[in-house]
Chain A
Amino acid sequence: MELANLQRRYLDFTSPLFHEGILDNQFTQLQQLQDESNPEFVLEVVTLFFDDSEKLLNELTRTLDQQVVDFKKVDAHVHQFKGSSASIGAQRVKNVCMAFRNYCEEMDQEGCLTCLQQLKQEYFLVKNKLETLFKLEQQIVAAGGSIPMMW
């Protein structure tokens, strides 16, 4: 009973993520890549993403705080961020990155800072969601159930 509950909660939790565009199909594909031979694949990748992202965010904050902003560097960071977010399917993060890169091209420091704020916001949102998701998954697995697929 508890398992069914958990599974329902899982579905209730995940479907808005896709509806709101926080995640996209890429995440689904990522989940498809996970199988018996590679059971922790998604978690592994997402953790990598978190580490990478936090490093990048710090770098970006530091770079943009400087008197003379090195926009090339900022752009490179954002590009990387965009790549990794696209890879895990964090769609909204990716979209902010695209806007961010435009501001970089225009060398608009203010726009960049605004974007950085947005980026942080989106990142932490997706991070929270994913962490909750994994927790739910773990609970389901711990309860001996399988993760329900909604696609």
Chain B
Amino acid sequence: MLVECSEIPMSWLIDAQIMDQKTGYLSEKFNLWLGWPKKFSVRGLRNHLCSHYFGSKKLKETSRRLLFLWLAGWFICAIWIFWFMNSQAVEKRREMLASMCDERARMLQDQFNVSMNHLQALAILISTFHHAKEPSAIDQITFAQYAERTAFERPLTSGVAYAVKVRHSERELFEKQHGWRIKKMDLTEQPPVREEDADLESPEISPIQDEYAPVIFAQDAYKHVISVDLLTGKEDCENILRARESGKGVLTAPFPLLKSKRLGVILTYAVYKSELPSNATPVQRIKAAIGYLGGIFDVESLVDKLLHQLASKHSIVVNVHDTTDPDRPISMYGSTVTGTGIYHISTLHFGDPIRKHEMHCRFKQKAPLPWLALTTSIGTLVIALLVGYIFHATVSRIAKVEDDYRQMMVLKKQAEAADVAKSQFLATVSHEIRTPMNGVLGMLQMLMDTDLDMTQEDYVRTAHASGKALVSLINEVLDQAKIESGKLELEAVPFDLRAVLDDILSLLYGKAQEKGLELAVYVSDQIPEVVIGDHGRIRQIITNLIANSIKFTERGHIYLTVHLTEEVMSSLNIETEYHSANSLSAFPVADRRRSWENFKIFKKELPASDPSLVSTTSDLINLIISVEDTGVGIPYEAQSRVFTPFMQVRPSISRIHGGTGIGLSISKCLVGLMKGEIGFVSEPQIGSTFTFTVVLTRSSNNSNEYKSFEFHGLTSLVVDDRPVRAKVTKYHLQRLGINAIIEMYPNQVLNRITSGTVATNLMLIEHEIWLTNAGIWSFIMNKLKDDQLDIPKAILLANPATSSKKNSSSSLEFVSTIITKPLRASMLQVSLQRVMGCGDGEHSRNGRLPQLPLHSLLHGKQILVVDDNVVNLRVAAGALKKYGAEVTCADSGKIAIDMLKPPHRFDACFMDIQMPEIDGFEATRRIREMETDMNRKINSGEVPLNFLGNVIPQRVPILAMTADVIQATHEKCRKLEMDGYVTKPFEGEQLYRELTRAIVEMNDISSIKLYENSHMKRHVSCKIIWENFSHTWWGRIKCSSWSRIEMDYCRSNVVQ
């Protein structure tokens, strides 16, 4: 078994090598198959993994072939294993049989030899005691007794008899001596049979012969053979003759014994008269022979006995044959049935060289099925199949994964393409919608200019407002599309955050006022005046959030706060002022800290020990901006999809409040673009707080537009019982340079005023406080008056909710003015100016604005229109003339250049871009060259100023006319030194917008003044400038430097 086991792996190896040889020519890759099976399978796999880049089809085919070879190889291998192990088993069985057979044969031989030897000894005994003694010492009885008693020594002999040699001459004497005649054997039968039955049935007298061999002694069992002449029996005669010639024991052929019906043989020994030399000739031997001893061997019982002695006698069948005549073997023992199974032949040597005997052994049972070989080979096959299956599964899995991957890639590409296409489509569609919408709005605007009755005007106004809403919606969609397609780029311009927030408040306070909401802003003093970033986008986000809050808030307040993140972080644990009861409007609010608890910025950065230090060391500042409201809140189940585009809490929301639900999504995107995060906390029926962070850059120039004003150094007392609200007021006062002291209790006010070292100039009192403590104020005032002290100017701060129910309190006589919140620096400034007597309070808030002044803007202006297409030229000229402009036409770039050679009289130029010879861009370039040349000359004094007349256009505005709406952009035109573009055919509003932008941009404040004085009312020009330039930094600067009061006025009116 051990041998077999150790051979199995060997056979694998051999098999593998065979397989290698088989498959080697198929592909060189298969060379890897050399060596240990495990190794090559792994390598093969890796090889296939590599090859999968070449294509899964090829891989599949190769792997299938490989698999087939593998299986076939292992099938052959299994058969071989079976054959090998089976042959081993058979061989072993054969060996076992041989050894068993040989053992039996040897034993049989030994016992036979023992018997033979004894017979020989008996022969010698007879020769000694019968022949050598005179008279004989042995008679029949003695012999029979002796033979009987020594039978155990001859286990194989069933009987012995002794015959003497009697010559014919001695016959009579012999017969007389013994008293019987020499009888003859029956020839027809076998001699022994006849021996047994001779004297019983036909005791014939032996015929006369030369000599006789009558039996004189026999064992009792064979007494009947006494007196029978053995030489008359054929076999016996032959035996005797051979025995006396050879001097050795001689065997007869086997014959059936009558008595026992079994086969037997007779062994004959010759007894010699004298001791013969070992080399005596046969003749000598014949002469010397005097008698013959015969022994009957019962072979069957003999072998039976023998086999009984041996273990496992049942496992094999033993046959003994006499094969003296090889053609006719005589069976001596055992069944004659010849099986087909394996057998073994052992030669038996019974001492007679003439007689040949063989022992045939055969297993009784058929060989058992070779289970081991069977299981081993089947096991091997199963393992091979499993390995093959694994391989197959792996390959198909790889192929599948690869297919999937390819499919995914295709799908991914499709999805991306679809996404891009969608965004493109949105952008295009939005643009395409915007263009006609602008037309609609422009026309409506113009329609409003005409004489309309009240109803008509109302209709037109509504249509205009709806159009505006639609455009803003489209803009939002466009924004979203732009952000999604990654085309949105942020500006980085310096701006005053506080002013931006004031603007937002101005824009939205109307709506808040309608709903009676208190709107407040607070900016931490840690934040620098001017920061760099995209204020437009910040404005968009905040506007969005506040507008949202206004939409969903019915009572209470909306409170916008801006801090540095470092500030918030450091106060994270100690901040207690935001607990619900202490809110701006005393309504409970959601805990704002929870709105930013998921912000990464708070997680990754360690809280700074000194916020100011952190914020000053880096150029980047992190702002955290919160919008807190006391609205209906967002239901918990809807909170997860707040930032999903077009997702609203309920579909009905859009019906009640309007909007697309895209605003917050855009805000989130924008915040993300500004490297910030947005989050919110919302509790239904309590309110929501949205918080976002943005990263902005610190600006180097730190100019405060308000602080340098006339209120610097004043001291004010803010009387308010709510610290948060007082903080807001204080913040605004401080922006104007006013020192603010907060007093929470009205009854302490007098004490404050009188005890302070510095005189209190102003007293800002919350309207609520004023009302609840009405009596105390007159007391304070009178007291102060009595004490001959400066009475501070009392200003009531009313919030929209309370201001509506005007309380005609008697003490109002002490009040200088009432300021309606929300507080904004500019508005506060105006009010204070009025109170302090240094401002002009002539403005009314309710004046209706005169409408679109395109006509007035263009009226009397000298405009050059350049187009090579005469039809276009005529149409453009017609359109501009319609607006009152004086139009000059030029039909080529060259003429235009000539006409615009400074000095010239034109206020603006409209130029077609695509023209033969000199196109619009080229013409512009040349005109700009001429202008710079002229400016240089003027500056160097080469050309006297008065030569140019009173109008000094250093740079004539050139606007491109193009039919290509999509490609034309302001930026592109600016890059090519043009000042804007208008689409062909002209649209009123666009024309107006571009022209205004171009003209105003060209000329400085003086030109604004020019418009102001010439054709438009002051407010209108102000509005134009505000509308067009408030989004640019320089526009803001210009506007603010021009007239703060006007600006404030405009801001509040633009909204309406």
Contacts and interface: CB of A to CB of B under 8 A. Distances in A.
A86 B963 contact: yes
B282 interface: no
B537 interface: no
B1032 interface: no
Contacts of A52: 869-871
A87 B881 contact: no
A109 interface: no
B879 A87 contact: no
A145 interface: no
A35 B882 contact: yes
B984 A76 contact: no
B440 to A, nearest CB: 11
Contacts of A48: 870-871, 874
A70 B912 CA distance: 24
B870 A88 contact: no
Most buried by A among B868, B878, B881: B878
A118 interface: no
Contacts of B867: 83
B996 to A, nearest CB: 21
B916 interface: yes
A96 to B, nearest CB: 16
A84 interface: yes
B914 interface: yes
Contacts of A32: 882
A87 B869 contact: yes
A87 B985 contact: yes
A33 interface: yes
Majority secondary structure, A binding face:
helix
B888 interface: no
Contact of A83 (B878, B881, B882, B963): B963
Interface string A69-96: 0000000100110111011100000000
B913 to A, nearest CB: 11
A63 interface: no
Interface residues of A, number: 24
Contacts of B868: 80
B15 to A, nearest CB: 68
A87 B882 CA distance: 16
Interface in B845-885: 867-872, 874-875, 878-879, 881-882
Nearest to B872: A87
Given A33-B879, A33-B882, A76-B916, A83 B872 contact: yes
A18 interface: no
Interface in A15-36: 26, 29-30, 32-35
A73 to B, nearest CB: 10
B985 A84 contact: no
Contacts of B881: 33, 37-38
Nearest to B985: A26
B878 A84 contact: no
A44 interface: yes
A128 B875 CA distance: 21
Given A38-B881, A52-B869, A83-B869, A44 B874 contact: yes
Contacts, number: 56
A87 B914 contact: no
Contacts of A82: 963
A84 B916 contact: no
Interface residues of B, number: 17
A45 interface: yes
Most buried by A among B874, B882, B914: B874
Contact of B871 (A33, A35, A76, A84): A84
A80 B878 contact: no
Contacts of A45: 871, 874-875, 878
Nearest to B880: A33
Contacts of B872: 83-84, 87
A35 B883 CA distance: 12
Contact of A38 (B871, B878, B984): B878
Contacts of A41: 878
Contacts of B985: 26, 29, 86-87
B871 A88 contact: yes
Contact of B869 (A33, A38, A84): A84
B882 A49 contact: no
A49 B916 CA distance: 19
Interface string A88-114: 100000000000000000000000000
A86 B984 CA distance: 8
Contacts of B882: 32-33, 35
Contacts of A83: 867, 869, 871-872, 963, 984
Contacts of B916: 76
A49 B871 contact: yes
A123 B615 CA distance: 71
B649 to A, nearest CB: 42
Interface string B323-366: 00000000000000000000000000000000000000000000
A76 B869 CA distance: 11
B875 A88 contact: yes
Contacts of B879: 29, 33
Most buried by A among B882, B914, B916, B984: B882
Nearest to A85: B871
Contacts of A49: 871
Nearest to B961: A83
A35 to B, nearest CB: 7
B865 to A, nearest CB: 12
A146 B321 CA distance: 150
A121 B867 CA distance: 27
A30 B878 contact: yes
B869 A80 contact: yes
A106 B984 CA distance: 26
A59 to B, nearest CB: 13
Interface string B734-762: 00000000000000000000000000000
Most buried by A among B868, B870, B875, B914: B875
Contacts of A88: 871, 875
Nearest to B884: A37
A33 B881 CA distance: 9
A101 B1000 CA distance: 39
A41 B878 CA distance: 8
A58 B914 CA distance: 22
Nearest to A73: B916
Most buried by A among B871, B881, B985: B871
Contacts of B869: 52, 80, 83-84, 87
Interface in B867-909: 867-872, 874-875, 878-879, 881-882
Most buried by B among A34, A37, A86: A86
Most buried by A among B870, B881, B914: B870
A4 to B, nearest CB: 27
Contacts of A30: 875, 878
Interface string B955-986: 00000000100000000000000000000110
A79 B914 CA distance: 9
Interface in B651-704: none
Nearest to A44: B874
A39 B419 CA distance: 52
A55 to B, nearest CB: 10
Contacts of A37: 881
A37 B878 CA distance: 11
Contacts of A34: 878
A65 to B, nearest CB: 22
Contacts of A38: 878, 881
B432 to A, nearest CB: 15
27 contacts: A26-B985, A30-B875, A32-B882, A33-B879, A35-B882, A38-B878, A41-B878, A45-B874, A48-B871, A48-B874, A49-B871, A52-B869, A52-B871, A76-B916, A80-B868, A80-B869, A82-B963, A83-B869, A83-B963, A83-B984, A84-B869, A86-B963, A86-B985, A87-B869, A87-B871, A87-B875, A88-B871
- 7 pairs of A and B residues whose beta carbons are closest in the complex: A84-B871, A87-B875, A33-B878, A83-B869, A87-B872, A49-B871, A45-B874
